[in-house]
Structure 1
Amino acid sequence: MRERKRPEFPKRAVVTAGMPYGNKELHFGHVGGLFVHADTYARFLRDRIGKDNVIFVSGTDCYGSPIAANYRQLVEEGKITGSLEDYVRKNYEKQKEVLDKYDMNLNLYAASGLDRAGEIHKEVSEKIFNTLYEHDYLVKMSTPQFYDPDFKVLLNGRQVVGKCPIDGCQSDKAYADECALGHMYMPNELIDPKSVLSGKKPELRDVTNWYYKLEDYTEALKGQMDYLKQHSTARKYLIKTIEEFLKQPIIYVKRKQLEDGVASLQAKLPKHTIIDEPKKPSITFIFDNLNDRDKAREVLDSMGLHFRTGKTLVPFRLSGNIDWGIKVPEKEGLDDLTFWVWPESLWAPISFTKTYLESIGEDKDEWKNWWLSEESKVYQFIGEDNIYFYGIAEMAMGLSLLGIDSKDQVDWEHVNLPHLVPNNHVLFMDKKASSSSDIKPPMAEELLDHYTAEQLRMHFLSLGLAKKSVSFMPQVYMPEEERQGPDTVLKDGNLLTNVFNRLVRSCFYTAQKYFDTKIPHGEVSEEILHLSKDAVLNYEMHMYRHDFHRIVYVLDSYIRKLNKYWVNHMKKADTDENNDLRKQVLVDAFYGVKSALTLIHPIAPTSCEMVRDYLQVSENIWNWDYIFEPISALMDDVATHELKYLEPRIDFFKKHESQFK
């Protein structure tokens, strides 16, 4: 049989997970939709390429208008005291505490506005801005910003709500210049805007800010998408979502509004092409550039015509005017601006990488060898709503910072930009739940009152968020009358707490009873070697592709087959009192247990470490250099190596105490 081609992993890797805002604790979506997947992959890479070759960073997103607004509201209500920084720090520390409870093994969980990471982040932000400015990638623009005359303040971000102007958008909320699904637009495009302060329609006032010339990189990003389709494991819907924004500027006008026909309107518009399909309710106007589209918008507004715009790239705002933010370097007389939270959060993982390297005594400028070297790879785990920012804005700015102009021919084979791993939404009871939505999600910490961290880690990986949004349906949150059948949250965790736990215990008890608490030495059968190798190679390929739900399928099949082999053959050995068969089955079973432990280790690390302790072997058991070796390869002396004695009724993979009621 021809050897299967195995995937190649980088020599070094950085893993990042999307940053929670500093005005909240972690809800189940933060953990189940992002951090479990990122941590599992980081742990796998440590086992696969060496723990010193992987850096896993994330942190609290400290800045932004929602945080400042929440803080002011809580102070006014008398619910908190202290400074805004105190408020953010408290949430940061709580987030870090909860991640620890879920066995997240980050090299650094930092905060973009606190302590040494905050200092380095300010330095990085200033350097990136100056680099973009000096190479003419920025433009100073005066654009309309919402203003609430009742409160006499300019409104930022989520202080304005309305309807997304992008045609076909299904977002439940839209804000000043972005909607909940990540669509970007100019503030004056927002439909039916309303101030959250006064509840009234705000005014528009021109405000000057710095913008990155994102639209200039449209063709370059199209080239990147073509490359990724052929040469990467990028998820299809990531590419599809990005490509939707790489279209020419479009306006859709309802046909029924044009009583005088299309021709009279066309004469008033800048240069364009038209798509007029009689069976469709809207007529499509396509423009060469944003300026022409915006002139057309003015014409349509003056005529009182309603319209929607299509997805396209618009200048990416870098600055804003709220006090709670990192100060933008003074240029051309603009001296009172701070960075908008989104762009500075895109380069925050670089700041965190530098902070971590410095903390372990290395030169923080070594970050380039982790982020830019062709021997390294950055994997960023994000939510689907953030594809625009990471998949478009980050990639374009990355090219600019590498000195690649928008008109340059890009050699994608040798441009090492981050690999994005976007997950779809993890719903709650079939509905999208978030801190800013009407449906409030359960907090991540409170789930641990009902399930173990490892049960939840296993379940969240099994959901298949790479393919579609999936609902989290814990029975403990259902009314009693709606609870039917077993709790789906426990289904995959039971594979470990029931089937695998029983198999591992049986191996130990059999070794204690018949072989002096030692693993007998012998050749592993071809059946188990083949079964294990097939599972390992399938697991490795699915991990390479970030198909985490398929990893759970592989483990389920492998563990159940191992258990079936044990039950059938050990029953025969006991019936026939055949100690030779018993020895062979135990040799095979311990080989299977060792292989399975290595595969489970990134998912259920604490329980796996307990088994390793009882096996009395080194951490090389997790090292993939030993993945196909027998367990004897981990022993100094096979003849004298003893297992740690396992007392009766000791579980390696434990259920939550509430599940014994």
Structure 2
Amino acid sequence: MSERILVAVAWPYANGSIHIGQTAGAYVPADIFARYHRMKGNDVLMVSGSDSHGTPVTLEAENRGISPEEVFEHYHAEFLDCWDRLGISFDLFTSTHTENHTEIAQDIFSQLYENGYLYTKTMLQPYSEADGRFLADRYVEGTCPHCDFDGARGDQCDECGRTLDAQELIGIRSRLSGDTPIFKETEHFFLKLTAFEDELLDWIRPQAHWRPNVKNFSIGYLEGGLQDRPITRDIEWGIPVPLDGYDGKRIYVWFEAVIGYLSASREWATRRGEPDRWKDFWQSEDAKSFYFMGKDNIPFHTVIWPAMLLGYGGLNLPYDVPANEYMNLEGMKLSTSRSWAIWLPDYLDRYDPDPLRYVIAAGMPETSDSDFSWTEYVRRNNDELVATFGNLVHRVLTMSYRNFDGVVPTPGRLDDDSQALLDEAERRFREVGENLALCKFRAALMEGAMALAQAANRYLDRKAPWQTAKTDRIATATTLWTAMTVINCLKKALYPYLPFSGEKLHAMLGFEGSVADDGWDWSPTDLTSGQSLQKPAPLFQKLDEAIAEQETERIGQQR
């Protein structure tokens, strides 16, 4: 029986290019997961969009002397291009700057207000006399009171992940003028998070399928005691408060951006001409929603967004939040301010997408921080993609194409060695699916698919068809058919990770259509003897080892 799967992916601020850390944190794992479930025949909806109203967008606009809308539109177009080139298969990648999103965000605001979960209170906000205005959270920075990190923002510390109030910052300063702001009173709307503390704890504690880091962080966050949070700000760029008398205030981004998952789902349904279709993913008891993001966004998706959903009523809570830890770069934390990053558009201009998807998945920071280095990128490309998987494919298809008239050979009786490899393929394929369903992407890849590729190479070395081709045509045909059958299994198992290479291999094996069309099933009978093969060509390109040093030197120079 098919499942309904909502894949909700973090919304990037439309103030700069996507970097490899974001790609590893949310976008590649979400796409692997969505592709797997589509192949399973499940009803999948994968949505995200550009966060166009965040203060990072207005900061970038002020720095460049252009409007926030111009900044957002530039990077939104760039994001769409990157997703297409990297193979991130969104059903809809929209933005928060749409009438649809505005209407839904205002509806949730209004309903929470009517239900008694929003209230107004006068609070102190940083005000810059030099700038002549109130400063939203990201317009100020200082030292975190919890971990002493100098560079914490007025809403959150990226070093320790704690959410903050600007008044907590030590040595607070304006990011515009550098002056020390004063604190002035201003009235704002607050979300009554304290009303949901016990209910959220009761919901999270039984979630045995959550990653331990996500579950433990969320429980600790709640047990530390929630505080009501302001959800409006004195800014001009954003969604207006839908109540009379608050013309100068906007709904703050951390509140309205998470609503994007819902508004994007409804926009997708409307675009399909099925305006109620979103309900299948948000109101059906059998629907499951998975939220993909980096660990800095955990509390917004395990505490704050669920509180909003509870307060609004009638919508499903997250089923799982498989948030990743950080992927560092060359042993150091990524830093956009220092440009210590690999920018996705720059990478895609010069390299193929599948090797990056593979390297990210092989070192995915699922339970602890991991590291990306160009040395490791080149090694994995050359040793694993080219020498292990690519060489297996090229050897088998080239020998078959040359020795058996360009068709899949007809095997003789399988010996124990050949049958054992097919049995291992069946087991590994099943394990890949099980791990993908559990969001264990690294294990599915390395302990499942790539372990099978290694086993197939060992089998080929033992059988040495390049030698038996001269003396025993039936034995050679049996060996090549067995290896090619396993390659067809690997094609499916690796497709969620390597969609571009998977389609090339699918065509070379003589199949029509897409790999995804065949579903998540594999049988040795899928490959038909006598089936015409395309002339083989290498799936991957070996890289010069000097590239690692050259690319490492480029870090910090590109933006």
Contact 1:132 1:401 in 2 (8 A): yes
Q: How does 1:262-301 map to 2 (within 5 A)?
A: none
Counterpart CA distance in 1 for 2:219 and 2:484 is: 50
Deviation at 1:512, TM superposition (A): 2.4
Give 1:441's aligned residue: 341
Within the alignment, does 1:90 sit opposite 2:74 as a pair? yes
Give 2:333's aligned residue: 432
Deviation at 1:572, TM superposition (A): 8.1
2:199 is aligned with what amino acid? A
1:366 is aligned with what amino acid? R
Q: For residues 20 and 327 of structure 1, do their structure 2 counterparts lie closer, same or farther at Cα, with a shift above 3 Å needed?
A: same
Give 1:644's aligned residue: 534
Deviation at 1:40, TM superposition (A): 1.3
Give 1:545's aligned residue: 438
Contact 1:373 1:416 in 2 (8 A): no
Counterpart CA distance in 1 for 2:123 and 2:382 is: 53
> 2:231 is matched with which residue: 318, 325, 334?
318
Contact 2:327 2:364 in 1 (8 A): no
Q: For residues 26 and 581 of structure 1, do their structure 2 counterparts lie closer, same or farther at Cα, with a shift above 3 Å needed?
A: same
Q: List per-residue Cα deviations over 1:389-430 (Å, max 9, x = no partner).
A: 1111011111222269xxxxxxxxxx6434211111111121
Deviation at 1:645, TM superposition (A): 3.3
TM-score, normalised relative to structure 2: 0.90
Counterpart CA distance in 1 for 2:546 and 2:39 is: 32
1:435 is aligned with what amino acid? T
Q: How does 1:13-412 map to 2 (within 5 A)?
A: 13-50=5-42, 53-75=43-65, 83-113=67-97, 118-166=98-146, 169=147, 171-180=149-158, 181-229=160-208, 233-247=209-223, 311-330=224-243, 333-363=245-275, 365-402=276-313
Counterpart CA distance in 2 for 1:659 and 1:583 is: 40
Give 1:283's aligned residue: none
Q: For residues 172 and 579 of structure 1, do their structure 2 counterparts lie closer, same or farther at Cα, with a shift above 3 Å needed?
A: farther
Contact 1:185 1:314 in 2 (8 A): no
Contact 2:298 2:323 in 1 (8 A): yes
Q: For residues 62 and 657 of structure 1, do their structure 2 counterparts lie closer, same or farther at Cα, with a shift above 3 Å needed?
A: farther
Within the alignment, does 1:563 sit opposite 2:460 as a pair? no
Give 2:420's aligned residue: 527
Counterpart CA distance in 2 for 1:435 and 1:626 is: 39
Q: For residues 607 and 654 of structure 1, do their structure 2 counterparts lie closer, same or farther at Cα, with a shift above 3 Å needed?
A: farther
Counterpart CA distance in 1 for 2:519 and 2:201 is: 39
Deviation at 1:377, TM superposition (A): 1.6
> 2:385 is matched with which residue: 475, 496, 502?
496
Counterpart CA distance in 1 for 2:385 and 2:261 is: 34
Counterpart CA distance in 2 for 1:493 and 1:355 is: 43
> 1:598 is matched with which residue: 478, 492, 501?
492
Which secondary structure does the structure 1 equivalent of 2:125 belong to?
strand
Counterpart CA distance in 2 for 1:211 and 1:103 is: 40
Counterpart CA distance in 1 for 2:523 and 2:361 is: 28
Give 2:368's aligned residue: 468
Deviation at 1:532, TM superposition (A): 0.5
Deviation at 1:464, TM superposition (A): 3.5
Counterpart CA distance in 1 for 2:76 and 2:400 is: 47
Deviation at 1:621, TM superposition (A): 4.9
Q: For residues 152 and 416 of structure 1, do their structure 2 counterparts lie closer, same or farther at Cα, with a shift above 3 Å needed?
A: closer
Counterpart CA distance in 2 for 1:353 and 1:474 is: 37
Deviation at 1:626, TM superposition (A): 6.1
Counterpart CA distance in 2 for 1:623 and 1:324 is: 44
Contact 2:397 2:484 in 1 (8 A): no
Q: For residues 65 and 572 of structure 1, do their structure 2 counterparts lie closer, same or farther at Cα, with a shift above 3 Å needed?
A: closer
Q: What number of residue pairs does the alignment pair up?
A: 542
Contact 1:455 1:493 in 2 (8 A): no
Q: For residues 376 and 171 of structure 1, do their structure 2 counterparts lie closer, same or farther at Cα, with a shift above 3 Å needed?
A: farther
Which secondary structure does the structure 1 equivalent of 2:340 belong to?
coil
Counterpart CA distance in 2 for 1:234 and 1:10 is: 22
Q: Which has the larger radius of gyration?
A: 1
Q: For residues 493 and 74 of structure 1, do their structure 2 counterparts lie closer, same or farther at Cα, with a shift above 3 Å needed?
A: same
Counterpart CA distance in 1 for 2:5 and 2:76 is: 25
> 1:588 is matched with which residue: 482, 485, 497?
482
Give 2:554's aligned residue: none
Contact 1:21 1:61 in 2 (8 A): yes
Deviation at 1:520, TM superposition (A): 3.0
Deviation at 1:112, TM superposition (A): 1.4
Counterpart CA distance in 2 for 1:620 and 1:198 is: 55
Q: List per-residue Cα deviations over 1:304-333 (Å, max 9, x = no partner).
A: xxxxxxx431112221121000111015x4
The runs of 5 or more residues in structure 2 that have no matched partner are 551-559
1:103 is aligned with what amino acid? G
Give 1:653's aligned residue: 540
Contact 2:31 2:88 in 1 (8 A): yes
Contact 1:456 1:493 in 2 (8 A): no
Deviation at 1:509, TM superposition (A): 2.3
Which secondary structure does the structure 1 equivalent of 2:173 belong to?
strand
Within the alignment, does 1:421 sit opposite 2:322 as a pair? yes
Which secondary structure does the structure 2 equivalent of 1:227 belong to?
coil
Contact 2:140 2:173 in 1 (8 A): yes
1:219 is aligned with what amino acid? D
Q: For residues 30 and 12 of structure 1, do their structure 2 counterparts lie closer, same or farther at Cα, with a shift above 3 Å needed?
A: same
Deviation at 1:617, TM superposition (A): 1.8
The runs of 5 or more residues in structure 1 that have no matched partner are 1-8, 76-80, 248-310, 405-414, 476-486
Give 1:280's aligned residue: none
Within the alignment, does 1:613 sit opposite 2:507 as a pair? yes
Contact 1:12 1:54 in 2 (8 A): yes
Give 1:408's aligned residue: none
Q: List per-residue Cα deviations over 1:160-183 (Å, max 9, x = no partner).
A: 1122234xx364432223222442
Which secondary structure does the structure 2 equivalent of 1:606 belong to?
helix
Q: For residues 619 and 11 of structure 1, do their structure 2 counterparts lie closer, same or farther at Cα, with a shift above 3 Å needed?
A: farther
Contact 2:309 2:317 in 1 (8 A): no
Counterpart CA distance in 2 for 1:652 and 1:659 is: 21
1:217 is aligned with what amino acid? F
> 1:512 is matched with which residue: 401, 408, 412?
401
Deviation at 1:449, TM superposition (A): 5.5
Contact 1:24 1:91 in 2 (8 A): yes
2:16 is aligned with what amino acid? K
